Amino acid sequence: MNPVQFEVIWHRILQIADEMGIHYLRCSGSQTVVTGNDGATAVMLPDTSLVAIGPYIATQSNVLPLIVQSTQRMCAEDPGIHEGDIFICNDPYCGAIHHADVAVVAPVFIEGELAAWLGVSGHQLDIGGMEAGGFAIHAVDTHQEGLRIPPVKIVERGKLRGDIFRWVMNQVRDPLVGLDVKAQLAAITVGERGLRGLARRYGRGALAEVMRGSIDYVERRFRERLRALPDGQWKEVQFIDHDGHNPDIYRIELALTKNADRLTFDYTGTSPNARGLINSAYSGLLAGVLCGTYIQLAYDLPWNKGIHNCIEIVTESGTVNNCAYPAPCSMATISAVIVTIDTVFGAIGRMLLASGGLRGEAMAMWTGSSMGPIVAGTSQHGHPFVYTEMSHFAGGGGARTYKDGVDTGGIVFNTTPNVANVEEIENDFPLLYLFRRHLADSGGPGKFRGGMSAELAYVAWRAPEGRLEGSFAGTGGEMPNAIGLSGGLPGASIRLIGISDSGVHDALERGEMPPSRLEDIPGRREALPVKHPRRAFGRNEVWYHNWQGAAGYGDPIERAPEAVRRDVGAGAVSPGCARDIYGVVLGAGGELDGAATEARRMELRRARLGGRAPAAMSFQPPAGARRIGEALWLVEGEARCGRCGEALGRAAEPLRSSRAIDGPTQEAGPVRGEMYQELYGRRLFSLRRQVCPSCGTQHEARVIMEGAPLPASRLKG
């Protein structure tokens, strides 16, 4: 086949995957799907190899081949797989990530032969079970988490099976789930029509050749990229707080080894299954590893099986990101999966920093966790509803080696992030938002700042029953998960606050404007756990939450003072953090005080060195030196500070001789876990900063836990 025809057919396949998603979004009645793009599509070979995915939730796309494998294994003999059949599945132990992500998969027969599989997945508004919305806070095994469907034929030879459809609908609270499932079936039809049209025009053989050839092409290109990266090992440790029952802490440990054109992700040492809903099955582990790898290393390649062919995952069954049946896992996506992505981001980011030509592609972590605020009840339109508040999809983008992260730029696993306007939400559901705005100081400080996250507050409004029920499933309240690169600091953690006796409804009824800042809301405040079961809220009760910010890059006291001044003027950074973290002093009118800033930054360097004066910063890297960080160079196998030239270690342990400074996580800014540290009366986490012992330049900043392994980089050469 000539290259032009190959490209035409391949790009049409990619477009088919996108068109399936477009039709799904246009037919669905779900706010989660329509405004959050919380769905996925995929085209696969008959052997389930991933060929193309739509530009939606990458993690959901990655597991559709697993669901097809389960369908083939469980249904090939009974009831059989025929032309016109579509199967539905949401069982995490059959390939789904969690119960709420319901998938439909279908074989595509052309000229009587199986030519492909198609898949469409989407986060449903409700899936039954003990909690509305699908996050079963108090579950102790997966049977309590709602409808769990193994591969079942929902369309047989082109006809919807009403018995199966009614069975699904009988288990859920929100009737819009039915419309959403039918939208998925419609999307399958669009994909089938597209593939058959390609086969009619170019031939079934050409279609098969391009699908397999696209995987070979991506694998070849990806192996070339891997060979351009340094060999070595990078270790990351991340944490999940609270399992739905107790505020216990769980670790996810990664040792990423890169050797020639292969990546090995070793999760040995990860905590055992949690008692509650935070686990993920193997499907979630695979989804997280692939998602983080795609974004960091395959940003300019189509995402398919070619990348997976270059990856090995080492894991132990019965761990928090590879749980053993019947462990609960209804919160997998926004706990173990996104924290697994964090480990991948951190390890690959540091690998890229040492890569030479590709170091500009390194990114600090995006918003490091996610959440599922759920509101349920009867709407102002008179029908039952379940709503997942999706504003946290406007997370911060990680800082880069040359530029700030994007404020509220998205969430890392969603390639087309979107959030609804609050007016749309208020039109559909009996809620009134008091505010939704950027959260000052939420972006991780650095030479380049991490993207800000946001905060919001809402009340029940015009609910027919006078009240609603709310629950909350979040990760990362007691500590930040978004960890910086090269001395950049972590972004904000999450908070959930309930405020009673606020007088908000009384004020609204008097025609007064309600408070527009958390600090201005009167009443009795209660810090609520990040896993909070269903409870009623009604008149004069306010629910508030914020989500995690993204991480920074580079030493904050190397940030351009003018950039800090602009941030303060825009409300992105508070004057206190400008002075205490960035070392920038502003006058009463907000103008930059250059002399005071220079003196303040010298004061901060001295503090890092225990009061000693810093060495002169005049190092010039010699010819042949290799840059492995913002201010870290490898010179003849020895790691040296890029500012003063101080020897800090060897390639196998570049910061061994750095000065470690441990302090509270709040040294990275406010909202870094202090509310939950106070709630639980403990401080399990610290901010460890590793600085040059000669000039005080900050080379690394990590959130650490006593007794947990420390992250490490071991370069070869």
Which pLDDT tens digit goes with each residue over 208-232? 999 999 999 999 999 999 999 999 9
Euclidean distance between CA atoms 617 and 233, whole angstroms: 30
Strand bridging mode 626-629 / 542-546:
unpaired
Q: What is the mean pLDDT of residues 94-123?
A: 98
Task: Copy the structure tokens of residue 288.
Answer: 């997280």
Domains of the chain, residue spans = 3-219
Q: Are 496 and 474 in contact (CB under 8 A)?
A: yes
Euclidean distance between CA atoms 312 and 310, whole angstroms: 7
Residue 717 has a pLDDT of 62
Q: What is the mean pLDDT of residues 262-277?
A: 98
Residue 31 has a pLDDT of 87
Residue 29 has a pLDDT of 86
Query: Which tens digits make up the pLDDT trace of 654-685?
Result: 999 999 999 999 999 999 999 999 999 999 99
- Stretch among 36-45, 99-108, 240-249, 415-424 having the lowest mean pLDDT: 415-424
Residue 317 has pLDDT above 80, yes or no: yes
Q: What is the mean pLDDT of residues 546-573?
A: 99
Query: Which tens digits make up the pLDDT trace of 529-547?
Result: 999 999 999 999 999 999 9
Please report the beta strands in 260-343, taking only residues with DSSP state E, as ranges in sequence order: 262-266, 311-314
Residues pairing with 240 in the sheet: 250
Query: Which tens digits make up the pLDDT trace of 245-260?
Result: 999 999 999 999 999 9
- Stretch among 160-164, 321-325, 711-715 having the lowest mean pLDDT: 711-715
Euclidean distance between CA atoms 98 and 92, whole angstroms: 5
Chain centroid, CA 530 distance in Å: 17
Residue 122 has a pLDDT of 98
Task: Copy the structure tokens of residue 586.
Answer: 């502003």
Query: Which tens digits make up the pLDDT trace of 150-184?
Result: 999 999 999 999 999 999 999 999 999 999 999 99
- H/E element holding 212? helix 204-227
Quick one: DSSP state of residue 667? G
Residue 709 has a pLDDT of 83
Residue 361 has a pLDDT of 97
Q: Kindly indicate the confidence band of residue 711, based on its pLDDT and cuts at 50, 70 and 90.
A: confident
Q: Are 564 and 573 in contact (CB under 8 A)?
A: yes
Task: Copy the structure tokens of residue 75.
Answer: 């249904």
Strand bridging mode 638-641 / 524-527:
unpaired
- H/E element holding 9? helix 3-27
Backbone angles phi, psi at 684, to 5 degrees: -80, -25
Query: Which tens digits make up the pLDDT trace of 453-476?
Result: 999 999 999 999 999 999 999 999
Task: Copy the structure tokens of residue 6.
Answer: 């190959």
Q: Kindly indicate the confidence band of residue 710, based on its pLDDT and cuts at 50, 70 and 90.
A: confident
Nearest CA to 42 among 71, 65, 76, 75? 65
How big is the CA angle at 360 (ends 356 and 364), to the nearest 5 degrees?
Answer: 115
Q: Kindly indicate the confidence band of residue 417, based on its pLDDT and cuts at 50, 70 and 90.
A: confident
Euclidean distance between CA atoms 447 and 445, whole angstroms: 7
Residue 554 has a pLDDT of 99
Share of the chain above pLDDT 90, in %: 97
